[in-house]
Amino acid sequence: TAKVAILISGRGSNMQSLVAAADGAYEVVVVASDRPEAPGLAWALERGIPVFALSPKTVGKPAYEAALDGALREAGAEWIALAGYMRLLSDDFVARWRGRIVNIHPSLLPRYKGLDTHARAIAAGDAIAGASVHVVTEELDGGEVIAQAEVPVLPDDDAATLAARVLEAEHRLYPQALKEFVRR
Ligand code: GAR
């Protein structure tokens, strides 16, 4: 079974859907966060999933990433799934896990890399929005796209209503894409 680490910064709803849908195709061996107060950590702990949390602000980014790398390897992780992880990983970290990190991003890449994707899609008048699962490289939201899901943008949408519709699609998309990814 493929051993997966999930990295979160907040709520962790994608983490929850990844855990719920694992069904033997992969095993979540650790949930890690750059924010010790991330609500998703408590959810993982309650389910007996090992957790790692450290704020880069307290030790600096190099020490934070060294500790993170150590925790993931100690947990036996072979793959990393970013799920609402809102911090850029360093080039060194990406190189150490080359080709083994995936991310879910709330837009139809290559459109709307970075933040505020839903507001930008609405401002552009897009009729279709969605989410992408992509391989993580040194370029922000720039690696190979391995799966996408589309949803309509409705006339009355604001960023929040569109985000909710996209998030539902994310919850179906990510487990399926991760299963394909760990078979690589
Ligand atoms: C999700 O919509 C995810 O695609 C997005 O943050 C949300 C996290 O929600 N990720 C990014 O914007 C990455 N730059 P969750 O914590 O409930 O999974």
Q: Which atom of ligand 1 is nearest to the CA of 114?
A: 14
Cα–Cα distance measured from residue 140 to residue 121, given in angstroms and rounded to the nearest whole number:
18
Three-class secondary structure of residue 16 per DSSP: helix
The candidate with the shortest Cα–Cα distance to 136, out of 173, 184, 82, 63, is 82
- Token digits of residue 125: 């008048």
Distance 39 CA to ligand 1 centre (A): 13
Three-class secondary structure of residue 58 per DSSP: helix
Distance 173 CA to ligand 1 centre (A): 13
105: annotated active-site residue: yes
**pLDDT tier, 109 (very low <50, low <70, confident <90, very high otherwise):** very high
Q: Which atom of ligand 1 is nearest to the CA of 117?
A: 12
Peptide bond preceding 175 in cis form (omega within 30 of 0): no
For residue range 18-27, list pLDDT tens digits in order. 999 999 999 9
Residue 102 near residue 81 (C-beta atoms within 8 A): yes
157 lines ligand 1 (CB under 6 A): no
Q: What is the pLDDT of residue 97?
A: 98
For residue range 118-143, list pLDDT tens digits in order. 999 999 999 999 999 999 999 999 99
